[in-house]
Amino acid sequence: PPRALFPPLSNMAFAQSRVPRTTALAALAAAVATGAAGSPLLVPAFSGPEEGFGGASETEDYGLIQAWVEQALLREQLPQADESAFADEARSLRGKSPQDGHAQHDGHGRDGHGHHDGRKAEPVVTLKRKEVPVDPEGNMTKDGVELKMCADDMNITMQAIDIKGGLLQSFSLNGHNILLVRPHLDQMDGSIFWPSPQKDWGWPPPLAIDPTVHKNFTIKHDLALDLESKTFELTSPVWEERNLTLAKKVSVDTSRKSFIIDYSMRMSGGSTGKFAPWEISRVQAGGLTFFKTGSNETSGTWKPLRLKKIDGVTWFQQKGDVGQGKLYASTTPSRPDSPMAWLAHTDGKVVFVKCFYWLPDGTNAPEENQVEIYDGEDYVEMEQQGAYQTVFPGQPISWRVEWFLRAMPEGAKAKPGDKTLVEFADDLCH
């Protein structure tokens, strides 16, 4: 894959690990030496203790080296293994037997000589704890997690933190983040999970659920990683007024090249409650948000948004010139025979599509709807909700949302009425 798809190895593979940098470099050196007799593997141009690598030939196997180092770090093998072990593993990954040196398929669409055999690479998924940047410049970081999938020409990364309501802080394609990251910690950004309807708690959100507006950054969600299944889960403290706990479990579907978020709502203390799950994803101003038009909509007490309805699709081109406003709307399935609906957004460079189960009219929470868009003037919230239902003690309810992030499809334009964008979302969510 092109080198530009991946951050420097020095930053990604080593910086957040407990493995000494010199040990990791020795591992790479052993792997490079192993490939010397065959096609070039990686030619390091290492000029200082904190600098990256460069000078690789066009036939480098950068993605393979990256995957090998990351997996070795996750298994914590590097500190214990010796150079012969590194060399043996490198031979194996290159599809060569140390006995006969014959070329074999390497599982990455290449034979042992580095030639492509027409097959697509198997996606590589990595998960690790990480200090996550929480401001646009990356000057401030907080404890969190990074889940990443490398597949074909896509490097899709999700980062989350344990403060600010267990915030999904970024969602990036080849380094381009679609979610909003704001300069100050007490500003709302990223993607968050709230209980609906809002009329049950007013404003601000309950402290245990989302302490951002309260400016409390000591309250944390519990963060649990499963390195075997490559999943992580963020669980809120109990909202004591209602005995409610919220959680989100994030995984990757490598067959669909998507990220799966399984939300859950759980009651404790013998209480019951009635809620709907509510996902709020904040994106930069100036983009285009769209969904399939349903049977009803309202702006409630807010200023109405400037919408365009073209061929059964509602479009909101945000310009930030009319003040704050909101839309509450129903939607329709992606196709007549599909149970799935979608809400999508593009900034002209990438397309962000969220897929979820469609709700019939009347199953939404009071004074809410399945699809909601909020114009915050300098940002936009793209929101969707699940069914309004009773949550019993010991019987949590769950709600699945699937996230896709892709480059703009060929021929598509970030303009209301673009049929290519609609067909693209329909194809992903069915």
Return averaged pLDDT per consecutive 10 residues of the chain, 430 residues in all: 37 39 51 41 36 35 47 44 44 41 42 51 94 97 98 95 98 98 97 98 98 98 98 98 98 98 96 97 98 98 97 96 93 96 98 98 97 97 98 96 98 98 97
Q: What pLDDT does residue 320 have? A: 84
Rounded to two decimals, the pTM is: 0.76
Q: Is the peptide bond before 204 cis (omega within 30 degrees of 0)?
A: yes
Cis status, amide bond into 20, omega within 30 of 0: no
Spatial contact of 329 and 368, defined as CB atoms under 8 Å apart: no
* CA-closest candidate to residue 301, choices 390, 203, 387: 203
What Rg value do the Cα atoms of the chain yield, rounded? Answer: 24
| Residue with tokens 């030939």, as numbered in its chain | 57
- Strand pairing category for 273-284 and 258-267: unpaired
Q: What is the dihedral of CA 293, 203, 277, 329, to 10 degrees?
A: -10
Q: Where are the beta strands (DSSP E) in 230-319?
A: 231-235, 244-253, 258-267, 273-284, 288-292, 297-298, 308-310, 313-317
- Residue 195: strand, helix, or coil: strand
- Secondary structure (3-state) at 211: coil
